[in-house]
Amino acid sequence: MSVLVVGSVALDSVETPFGKADDVLGGSATFFSASASHLSPVQLVGVVGNDYPIEQLQPLAERGVDLSGLERADGRSFRWRGRYRHDLNVAETIETHLGVFSNFRPKIPEQFRSAPFVFLGNIDPRLQLEVLTQVDRPKLVACDTMNFWIESRRPELLELMARVDLVTLNDGEARQISEKYNLVKAARWIMSRGPKIVIIKKGEHGAFMFSEREVFFAPAYPLEEVFDPTGAGDSFAGGFMGYLARCGEISEHNLRRAVVYGSAMGSFAVEKFSIQRLLEVRPHDVAARVRAFHRLTSFEQELEA
Amino acid sequence: MSVLVVGSVALDSVETPFGKADDVLGGSATFFSASASHLSPVQLVGVVGNDYPIEQLQPLAERGVDLSGLERADGRSFRWRGRYRHDLNVAETIETHLGVFSNFRPKIPEQFRSAPFVFLGNIDPRLQLEVLTQVDRPKLVACDTMNFWIESRRPELLELMARVDLVTLNDGEARQISEKYNLVKAARWIMSRGPKIVIIKKGEHGAFMFSEREVFFAPAYPLEEVFDPTGAGDSFAGGFMGYLARCGEISEHNLRRAVVYGSAMGSFAVEKFSIQRLLEVRPHDVAARVRAFHRLTSFEQELEA
């Protein structure tokens, strides 16, 4: 089964304590696709300007990302410039140029409308809502968001939440939208607005998945070298949704493993700049990382316990 | 098998967003004992002043904490006053009065010297070293420390590390002592100084256990109400050491479960002020919390993986 992703396709310029990269592939839909395409076919909807190095997306197309929903508009592509200090959990935005992204209105191609899994990347909630009017009863719709929309589009965001099955956001955003500091309470509050599942991403501190009766947690993989955290959250979402699409069925077992696949793909994403590492890894690398996650957290229960 | 703990027995005054408590039982050896005594006999060595409400320690004695190594010195007891804001991971110290603790020289009673498990709570590394000269080839010696000793007693602390089997410290302290920001590197650096096992506690973000070939991680239990985080780290250590003492054997399986028991006891400690909740919980509560930890992180591997 395939995953439809709607989000940004950008050019990132990033500086970390370990190096810098200029105008490399970035954006939520790009990271999501590079990650999810390890597990299932991906259909991407987004926009780039006429300055975008489209040929650099060719490796994505070769691995099953359908780019026919990538619009080319007249103008400059979305650009983000950011920096990380030693605390790689905190990105400092230096500049953002929306370019053609500021007039983006997602148009879902006919052949994408029946995608069973839909991921609404972090864009204006009004556009996320527009996507929902163009898709045909998907099995699962997930959305991401960010502080900017929580502040500026709260009513629309709450309307969106009432219409999606799953929300992914980071700990700060969960606190901001719910106005609750405790993450369990924040997740319960968000669920009370509609979504049956809430995933709270804590960056290097792992991710919680809350549902009505269950809580699952997966740590971030303890890497000796975290090179560039940009895109980790979208790569997580890609691994999560891609794994669910591969399974086809949404069960508690599959959801838990999907969180682990998400964490595994996130852990690859941060090993190099941009989507470089995500393009390199092979199925056996993914399987080995998932096994390593199992080893990292598993313990045997005692018979008497 | 029994656990010997040497550490502080204090009176804490704590303010959290949820309430305040004055002159309640505190100190590393107190929390450790309240926690470990759920799992094994405990022998406590410490000092209090003549103002200490010794009778309040009676519940500990009743559950198997041998207080015959608790010295009563002339003077005031160790007092700590602190505050937590909404970020319960950060304690703000308002005042510390060492009192009789400033002249403390641990004397291990004859009947405690053969304890197979020894925990050196966070005190001056010179005193921690003195304890080592008084014990008779324990199976496992663990120590804790803090930023103050890392700054002021670095040579002695490194000497201690060369002589213990296991070190527990928090993430900030691991970074400080190793001068490495990455926690995997920090743990490897500490192991290179001697200890075979390093446990890095990240408060609400869980705990890593590193050994030569293995890494294990347990999250903190996601509680809706964290009332007072004071003593969580020492309660973790108590659960960890108490569980190992109960097992008697140090194996990878037992070490992993010990981290989970530590996390479980830490999660109880934060539910009320002081050692109150640790005194209330019953064996079935502990077993249920350990099962809940298993449920929180377990996922099934796929056959093909």
Does the pLDDT of residue A304 top 70, yes or no? Answer: no
Torsion from C-alpha of B6, B9, B13, B18, nearest 10 degrees: 60
Does the pLDDT of residue A170 top 90, yes or no? Answer: yes
| Separation CA A186–CA A184 (nearest Å) | 5
What pLDDT, on a 0 to 100 scale, did the predictor assign at position B303?
A: 64
Does the pLDDT of residue A281 top 50, yes or no? Answer: yes
The answer to whether residues A205 and B222 touch, using CB atoms and an 8 Å cutoff, is no
Chain B residues closer than 8 Å to A205 by CB: 202, 205-206
Q: How many residues does chain A have?
A: 305
Mean pLDDT, range A283-298, rounded to an integer:
97
Q: Helix, strand or coil for residue B166?
A: strand
Please give the DSSP secondary-structure letter assigned to residue A261. H
Average pLDDT over chain A reads 96
CB atoms B298 and A300 under 8 Å: no
Q: How far is CA A242 from CA A2, A117, A174, in A?
A: 8, 9, 23
CB atoms B219 and A224 under 8 Å: no
Structure confidence at residue B89 as a pLDDT band (50, 70, 90):
confident
Mean pLDDT, range B123-149, rounded to an integer:
97
User: Please, what is the Cα angle at B225 between B219 and B226, to 5 degrees?
Assistant: 60
Nearest Cα of chain B lies from the Cα of A254 at a distance, in angstroms, of: 9
Q: pLDDT digits over B60-82, tens only?
A: 999 999 999 999 999 999 999 99
Mean pLDDT, range A224-250, rounded to an integer:
96
In b/e form, how buried is each residue of B180-195, taking b as 16+ CB within 10 angstroms?
Answer: bbbbbbbbbbbbebeb
Q: pLDDT digits over A181-212, tens only?
A: 999 999 999 999 999 999 999 999 999 999 99
CB atoms A257 and B202 under 8 Å: no
Does the pLDDT of residue B158 top 70, yes or no? Answer: yes
Residue of A nearest to B260 (CA): A299
Select the residue of B188, B225, B297 nearest A217 (Cβ to Cβ): B297
Mean pLDDT, range B250-265, rounded to an integer:
97
Mean pLDDT, range B158-174, rounded to an integer:
97
Count CB atoms within 10 A of the CB of residue A192: 10
**For chain B, where are the alpha helices, taking DSSP H only?**
28-36, 58-62, 125-132, 147-152, 154-161, 171-178, 183-192, 232-247, 252-269, 276-280, 283-297
Does the pLDDT of residue A14 top 80, yes or no? Answer: yes
Does the pLDDT of residue A305 top 50, yes or no? Answer: no
Chain A residues closer than 8 Å to B297 by CB: 216-218, 297-298
Select the residue of B182, B218, B296 nearest A215 (Cβ to Cβ): B296
Does the pLDDT of residue B304 top 60, yes or no? Answer: no
Chain pair A-B, CB pairs under 8 angstroms: 99
The answer to whether residues B35 and B278 touch, using CB atoms and an 8 Å cutoff, is yes
Does the pLDDT of residue B125 top 50, yes or no? Answer: yes
Torsion from C-alpha of A176, A180, A183, A188, nearest 10 degrees: -100
Residue of B nearest to A222 (CA): B184
Nearest Cα of chain B lies from the Cα of A89 at a distance, in angstroms, of: 12
Chain B residues closer than 8 Å to A202 by CB: 205
Q: Which residues of B touch A (CB under 8 A)?
A: 86-87, 181-185, 188, 202, 205-206, 208, 214-219, 222-226, 253, 256-257, 259-260, 287, 290-291, 294-302, 304-305
Residue of B nearest to A223 (CA): B184
Amino acid at B17: P
Beta bridge partners of B97: B79
CB atoms B222 and A224 under 8 Å: no
Does the pLDDT of residue B305 top 60, yes or no? Answer: no
Phi, psi of B132 (to 5 degrees): -60, -30
Nearest Cα of chain A lies from the Cα of B275 at a distance, in angstroms, of: 22
Mean pLDDT, range A217-236, rounded to an integer:
95
Select the residue of B184, B219, B290 nearest A219 (Cβ to Cβ): B219
Q: pLDDT digits over A36-95, tens only?
A: 999 999 999 999 999 999 999 999 999 999 999 999 999 999 999 999 988 888 889 999
Q: pLDDT digits over B207-220, tens only?
A: 999 999 999 999 99
The answer to whether residues A184 and A217 touch, using CB atoms and an 8 Å cutoff, is no
Q: Helix, strand or coil for residue B207?
A: strand
Q: Which of B85, B217, B253 to mutate to test the interface with A (most CBs of A within 10 A)?
A: B217
The answer to whether residues B168 and B238 touch, using CB atoms and an 8 Å cutoff, is no
Q: Helix, strand or coil for residue B26?
A: strand
Mean pLDDT, range A21-29, rounded to an integer:
97
CB atoms B217 and A215 under 8 Å: no
Q: Which residues of A touch B (CB under 8 A)?
A: 86-87, 181-185, 188, 202, 205-206, 208, 214-219, 222-226, 253, 256-257, 259-260, 287, 290-291, 294-302, 304-305
